[in-house]
Structure 1
Amino acid sequence: MESISAPPPDPATPAARLPSAFSGHAIKLVILVVGWLLLTVLLGMIGGLVGEREQYRHEAEQRVAAGWGGRQIVGAPLLRLRHAPRIDKEGQAQAVPDRWLALDQASLAANLQGETRRLGLFDVPVYTADLQLRGELAGPRLQSALGTAEQPVVGADLLLPLSDPRGLRSAVSLQVNGTPVRLVPVTGDFNGQRLLGSELPLALLQRGELKLSGQFVLAGIESLQALPTASELAFSIAG
C-alpha cells in the first residue's frame, strides 16, 4: 500500500505571509518612532533658540529703559485723606485707614513723538509724550469726605500713579484750585504702580470743588497706557 503524504504549504497562504507582514509593520513603527524623536528634538532646539532670542530682546529693552524709561502706565490723580486716630472707650488711640477719592472727571491727552533705538540685533521703539492733564472733583462729594468734628481729616495728599518715573523729562507741576503744586516721587504704590505726590493744604480743599490741570513730558518704550483712576477718564493719543 502506497503512503500518501500531505502537499507542501502554499507560500501564498496567509500562514506563510504572516512573518513578512509582521516585519513590515515593525519597520514602519520603528520609522515612526525615530521620526517622532527627531521631530521632538528639532522642536526643542527651535524653542530654545526662540526663547534665547526673546531673552536677548528683553535684555535690550531693559538696557534702553534704564536710560529712557520703560513701558508707561499713567493714571489720573487721586486724593488721599488722612484721619486723626480714633479714641476708643478705654482711651486708646486706634488708627483710622486713609480714605482715597477718585476724581469725578479727568482727561489725559498725549501728543506722541516716536523713534527707534537700535541695540545689537534689536530695534526698540521709544517715544516722548507731551501729556496734558485735567480733572475735577465735585464740591458736595469733597466736602462730605473731609470728615466731621468727631473724625477730622488731618492731612491730604494728591497722588499720581506712574509706572516708571525714570521716564520723566520735566517736572510734574499742576494747578490745584489755582495754586501751583509740584508732584515728586513718594514711597508706596497704588495697585502696583509707583506714585508721584504732594501734600495739599487743607484750606485748599475747603473752597468747594477741586479743579486741577497741568502738563508734563514723559518718555517710555513700546507702549503708553492709562490707568482708570477716575470715575470718567478720557484718554487720547495723537502724533
Structure 2
Amino acid sequence: MEEQNTTFEKVNSWVKHSIMLKLATITILMLLLLIPTSMITSVIYERESLSVEAMNEVSSKWGGSQIITGPILTIPLVYEYLDKEKNATYQTQVNWYILPEELNIKGDVTPEKLKRGIYEIAVYKSDLTLSGKFNFEKNIDQTNLKQIKYDQAFITIGIKDLRGIKDHINFNWNKEAQTVKPGSKISDVVYAGMTINVPNIEEYLNTDIPFDYTLKLQGSQNMSFVPLGSTTNVKLKSNWDTPSFDGSFLPDNREVTETGFTADWKVLNLNRNFPQSWTQGEVKPSLESSMFGVNFLMPMDDYQKSTRSAKYAVMTIALTFLIFFLVEVLNGKKIHPFQYALVGLALCLFYILLVSISEHSNFNFAYGLSAAGIVSMITLYSMSVFKAKKLTLLLVTTLSGIYGFLFVTLQLADYALLMGSIGLTVILAATMYFTRNINWYKLNIETE
C-alpha cells in the first residue's frame, strides 16, 4: 500500500513539475484555441458578406453599376446568293456596324451615401454630355451585295442598367432632334439600351455627321465607359474624395483632393482590340473588354484588416503563453493550464471585439479600444497569478508591443510580409537571448 502511495506521489509530482509535460499542455491548448479563432474568422467573413448583400440590395432598387456604350450606327445589308443545286436564289440580311470617328464625354458625378441597417452604400447621380461625329465610307464586301438599306439605319446607345435613366434623352443627329425608343435591336453587340432611327444616311456618305445628347443617369458602385470612338475623350469630375480608377485604361490626368477629383482619359482605336466597322458574322468583338472607369465603393478594408489581424492570432497567443511559461520557469510561479486557457480565450475575444466595434466606428479607434480592453483584462488577471508587479509590468509591455506591432503591420499592407518576418525574427532572437542561460535538464532534475 505504501509503495502504491509512493508511486502515485511520484507520478503526481512529475505531472506538476515536468517542464516537457507543461510545454506539451501549452501546445495542445494553443491548438485548441485555433478552433475559436477559426470561428471568429468565419464571423468576419459572414459580416463582410452581409455588407455586400446590403450593397447589392440597395443597388437593385437604385440602379447598379453602369456601363455606357455607344453610340453605334447600324445599317442593314442584303446579300443575294445562288443555290446551284436548287437553281434558285436566296437572300440574307446582316448588319453593318459603324463606330464614331470621335466620341467626347463630359460629366459631373455626385455620389451620396445610403444606409441599409448599419451598413452604408455609395450610390451616385450623374449628368453626362456625349458628343462626336460619324464619318463612314462604303468599304464593305461588295460580293453578292444586293442592297444597302440606308433608309433603315439606326443608332444604338448601350446602358447596362436602364433603371438608372432619370430623364428623357434628347438625341441630336446632324443638329436635328430625333426620337429615342427603348430597347436594343443589336443584342449580340449591345444587350440593353435605346434605339434611334436616323434619316438620310446615304446623303452623308464620306462626310462628317455630328451628334450629341445628354444623359442623366444614376447608379452605384461603378461607372464605366466603352471607348468606341476612333478617338475617345472622357472628362469626369466629382465631389468623391476616395475614387478607385479601374478597367483597361487609367486616367491620363487626375487630381484627387479632399473636395473631390477630376480625371480625363484619351483612348485611341489602336489601343483596343476591335475594328472601327464590321459586318455581322465577320467578327464578334468583346466591347466591354476595353472599358474603363471609376469605382465609388465604400471602403471595406476594415473587414480585410480584421481578417488579416486574425491570422496573427497564433503568434499573439504563443508569445503571451511564452511570457507565462518563462515566469513559471524563472520565478517558480505555478500557473494552472486552466489559467492559460482563460488568457487564451481573452486573446481570441480581441478579434470579435475588433470587428464588432469597427462596424460602428473607424478601424483605428476600434483596434485601440479592443486592445486596451483585452490588455487591461489580462493585466488585472495576471496580478493575482504572478503576485509581482515587475512580472505584471513585463506582461503589459509585451502585450502592448504585440498589439502595436500588429497595428503597424496592418497599416503597411504592401510591407506586411517584410514587417512580419522582421518582427518574428526579432522576437525569436529576444527569446533566445533571455533563455540562453537556462539549463533545461537541470530544471527537470530539480523539479523531480
Q: Which bin holds the TM-score, normalised by the shorter protein?
A: 0.7 to 0.9
Q: How far apart in 2 are the matches of 1:51 and 1:131?
A: 38
Secondary structure of residue in 1 paired with 2:192: strand
Instruction: Give the equivalent residue in structure 1 for 2:80.
Output: 86
Q: Which one has more relative contact order, counting CA pairs under 8 Å at least 6 apart?
A: 1
- Kindly state the Cα deviation for residue 107 of structure 1 after the two structures are TM-superposed: 0.9
* 1:59 and 2:58 matched: no
* 1:186 and 2:180 matched: no
AA partner of residue 122 (structure 1) = Y
Secondary structure of residue in 2 paired with 1:230: coil
- Kindly state the Cα deviation for residue 120 of structure 1 after the two structures are TM-superposed: 0.9
Among candidates 153, 156, 163, match of residue 156 of structure 1: 153
Secondary structure of residue in 2 paired with 1:124: strand
Instruction: Give the equivalent residue in structure 2 for 1:116.
Output: 113
Between 46-55 and 102-111, report the one with greater CA deviation. Answer: 46-55
Q: Tell me, yes or no, if the aligned pair for 1:83 and 1:98 is still in contact at 8 Å.
A: yes
- Kindly state the Cα deviation for residue 41 of structure 1 after the two structures are TM-superposed: 5.1
- Kindly state the Cα deviation for residue 106 of structure 1 after the two structures are TM-superposed: 0.2
Alignment of 1:1-239 (within 5 A): 28=23, 31-32=26-27, 35-36=30-31, 38-39=33-34, 42-43=37-38, 45-90=39-84, 91-138=88-135, 141-144=136-139, 150-154=145-149, 155-187=152-184, 189=187, 193-201=191-199, 203-207=200-204, 208-239=207-238
Q: Tell me, yes or no, if the aligned pair for 2:76 and 2:95 is still in contact at 8 Å.
A: yes
Q: Tell me, yes or no, if the aligned pair for 2:66 and 2:220 is still in contact at 8 Å.
A: yes
Q: Tell me, yes or no, if the aligned pair for 1:142 and 1:209 is still in contact at 8 Å.
A: no
Q: How far apart in 1 are the matches of 2:56 and 2:37?
A: 30
Q: Tell me, yes or no, if the aligned pair for 1:146 and 1:153 is still in contact at 8 Å.
A: no
Instruction: Give structure 1 stretches of 5+ with no counterpart.
Output: 1-22
CA RMSD of aligned residues (A): 3.0
AA partner of residue 59 (structure 2) = A
Distance 1:92 1:115, change over 3 A: same
More helix by share: 2
Q: Tell me, yes or no, if the aligned pair for 1:171 and 1:182 is still in contact at 8 Å.
A: no
- Kindly state the Cα deviation for residue 189 of structure 1 after the two structures are TM-superposed: 3.5
Q: Tell me, yes or no, if the aligned pair for 2:79 and 2:147 is still in contact at 8 Å.
A: no
Runs of 4+ displaced beyond 6 Å: 23-27, 146-149
Distance 1:51 1:87, change over 3 A: same
AA partner of residue 233 (structure 2) = A
More strand by share: 1
What's the TM-score once normalised by structure 1's chain length? 0.75
Post-superposition Cα deviations, 1:102-130, rounded to whole Å, max 9, x if no partner, equal 11110111112222111111111121111
* Equivalent pairs, count: 215
AA partner of residue 97 (structure 2) = W
AA partner of residue 227 (structure 1) = V
Q: Tell me, yes or no, if the aligned pair for 1:172 and 1:184 is still in contact at 8 Å.
A: no
Q: How far apart in 2 are the matches of 1:217 and 1:93?
A: 45
Q: How far apart in 2 are the matches of 1:214 and 1:191?
A: 21
Instruction: Give structure 2 stretches of 5+ with no counterpart.
Output: 1-17, 239-448
Q: How far apart in 1 are the matches of 2:178 and 2:66?
A: 22
What's the TM-score once normalised by structure 2's chain length? 0.43
